[in-house]
Structure 1
């Protein structure tokens, strides 16, 4: 099942460790500057390459994208033909990978011990939360980190791949957007044990060595600031290690993240403002949070302020949320740019009307 199906059925986006101290963040890459004030913004899109597209189709599509100011494409699947066709038009081609959520049958069969466990002791290998393919790896296991580093190295070794884009680089959603609670018949006004990860022996022993207590022995582990921070740091360490691989290849690394720093930390344990990235694309999908278009500007402003110029932010916009209303889409793009975004990232069908709106807003 691909991400698009999940977004339709669940309404979530996403578009990872040793107990040694985290690597120093002083090795962060030099930040990629945002376009100067008054300069031309550079936009991005998430797409899944269609193998049935002809070479003529690709030339037509990517020429139109480039003319509209789309400078980068996140490709969900590998396709040398698509990547090279985009590059001919001056568009950078990034390989978009699922990071911590990996449910390949071969991996599940070979290494069920790599998967995260919830507070009830259930493993994602056998008890996936919410949907069947929600199979989350534990970010604290050295074997998982080495596996992910190999995945990134393999993708970036291809000469037609310009960068790596991380998706699902987080824990499972401990809390869903409120409008989904009825869909699953759950009330998540507090963190429930079935969706709270990871409590495997590796994580519990590691945290106990650091803090002198087992998180499972706490009366309210969901309220512990240090246990919460411990998990932020586990994901930050995964990103840091994968960034090292990317920079050895002299290629950029970016990530799709939850819409604001506060939301990301609260519901999926992402501390993305402290990651060593070259760019970030927060999924500011306003419809998922029952917000209006104006919230796009608020979310961008929060993220830009928290980043302090470390790297540029490209506001992720979910095109179906606009229901074909190009006026609202234009407003969303403008709000993102006015609040400090370096550009926008589109998820959904990029039609000629969408491209016209992007050009007009730019």
Structure 2
């Protein structure tokens, strides 16, 4: 999260056949359990090993009192997980999915990485920033690698569930607030940011649609090529969902703010997943919108899901001018159908107070 937080703060950017499982594992996924009354709020954070036991107990107690019911931890720290659970909070492991730049993986399997329409691999030519190293979702070896990685987390008794992030393709269109920083205008899909054109993806597309994508004049405008890529990521999610089922634990995901933006910007089709819940990153400042847009974005997502699973609005506190505006943003989300909100990063006592106030107002 250190790199991601630095990127967010500096540039305002956001984020074989399937194994046969025992019959019990084929049952419906557990819901991301909601309290009997009130909203369910979350916090995205990275555990700090300098925290003392007393600090953790006090922090997590205050979280619970404010209405937070779960934490997405980006690193695996048993001490932090158990401290959160001791204060009645769910402790979920937050793991990056398709964006994986581990040096050992890059060195061992550079062929696993996505290739742009320009013909450049993320293994050697990462787009935008150095840590943008996107795996190809069509490769069976990639899906198996991810299954094993998430299973290793799920089998631990102190981990209550898993949380997917970067479960998509690279941003072919960045939020408009970033265009000036990178000196680009993305009113169209530029070749160096359009993925994946590796041999495996091309062959799979030809087998499914009978077309050679290299012979399509404007591949970025092809509905079937677009749908094909949605399905590639959907299959990764399906496989990981099956792993979560096997361990009888919930699986949630950080996703782009609305179904339309997710489709257009990152080829992400989260409405058609079968997860326990989603946290759309409705970071209004990234899109040069005001807090009213938070409610609109939530409404779009809730209507598209039609009750399939809960939506928790992801909010970025630095986007808000003050705590009163944060409270307004939270209230806008809740009044438009969010089952709760998820706050990114450090959460101040003032932010917790805003969360508590907004929740009470929205319930009234």
Work out whether the TM-score is over 0.5. yes
- Cα distance in structure 1, aligned partners of 2:212 and 2:228: 13
- Cα distance in structure 1, aligned partners of 2:28 and 2:114: 28
1:49-88 map, 5 Å? 49-88=47-86
Question: Is 1:327 matched with 2:328?
Answer: no
The answer (yes or no) to whether the contact 2:164–2:252 under 8 Å persists in 1 is yes
**Cα drift, residue 32 of structure 1:** 5.0
The answer (yes or no) to whether the contact 2:257–2:281 under 8 Å persists in 1 is yes
Of 115, 118, 127, the residue aligned with 1:117 is: 115
Of 342, 345, 363, the residue aligned with 1:345 is: 342
Greater shift, 208-217 or 292-301, is seen at: 208-217
The DSSP-based 3-state class of the residue aligned with 1:2 is helix
**Cα drift, residue 28 of structure 1:** 5.6
Question: Partner residue of 2:21?
Answer: none
Question: Partner residue of 2:128?
Answer: 130
The DSSP-based 3-state class of the residue aligned with 1:149 is helix
The DSSP-based 3-state class of the residue aligned with 1:46 is strand
Of 233, 237, 241, the residue aligned with 1:243 is: 241
Of 338, 343, 357, the residue aligned with 2:354 is: 357
- Cα distance in structure 2, aligned partners of 1:251 and 1:32: 9
The answer (yes or no) to whether the contact 2:93–2:161 under 8 Å persists in 1 is yes
Of 275, 278, 281, the residue aligned with 1:277 is: 275
Question: Partner residue of 2:29?
Answer: 29
Of 175, 178, 185, the residue aligned with 2:176 is: 178
The answer (yes or no) to whether the contact 1:28–1:277 under 8 Å persists in 2 is no
Please list the CA deviations of residues 101-127 of structure 1 after superposition, one character each: whole Å capped at 9, or x if unmatched. 000110000000000000011100000
Question: Partner residue of 2:205?
Answer: 207
Question: Partner residue of 2:5?
Answer: 4
Instruction: Give unmatched runs, 5+ long, in structure 2.
Output: 19-25, 360-364
Please list the CA deviations of residues 130-182 of structure 1 after superposition, one character each: whole Å capped at 9, or x if unmatched. 00110000000000000000000000111100000000000000011122112
Instruction: Give unmatched runs, 5+ long, in structure 1.
Output: 20-25
**Cα drift, residue 33 of structure 1:** 7.2
- Cα distance in structure 1, aligned partners of 2:307 and 2:14: 25
The answer (yes or no) to whether the contact 1:94–1:164 under 8 Å persists in 2 is yes
**Cα drift, residue 302 of structure 1:** 0.2
The DSSP-based 3-state class of the residue aligned with 1:134 is coil
- Cα distance in structure 2, aligned partners of 1:294 and 1:259: 14
The DSSP-based 3-state class of the residue aligned with 1:71 is strand
Structure 2 CA distance for partners of 1:28 and 1:123, relative to 1, 3 Å: farther
Question: Partner residue of 1:315?
Answer: 313
**Cα drift, residue 351 of structure 1:** 0.5
- Cα distance in structure 1, aligned partners of 2:48 and 2:345: 14
The answer (yes or no) to whether the contact 1:18–1:141 under 8 Å persists in 2 is no
- Cα distance in structure 1, aligned partners of 2:288 and 2:64: 32
Question: Partner residue of 2:215?
Answer: 217
RMSD, matched Cα: 1.6
- Cα distance in structure 1, aligned partners of 2:48 and 2:172: 33
- TM-score normalised to structure 2 length: 0.93
- Cα distance in structure 2, aligned partners of 1:170 and 1:301: 22
The DSSP-based 3-state class of the residue aligned with 1:59 is helix
The DSSP-based 3-state class of the residue aligned with 2:298 is helix
**Cα drift, residue 2 of structure 1:** 2.3
- Cα distance in structure 2, aligned partners of 1:53 and 1:74: 17
Question: Is 1:98 matched with 2:99?
Answer: no
The answer (yes or no) to whether the contact 1:18–1:140 under 8 Å persists in 2 is no
The answer (yes or no) to whether the contact 2:251–2:275 under 8 Å persists in 1 is yes
The answer (yes or no) to whether the contact 1:28–1:276 under 8 Å persists in 2 is no
Question: Is 1:156 matched with 2:154?
Answer: yes
The answer (yes or no) to whether the contact 2:29–2:249 under 8 Å persists in 1 is no
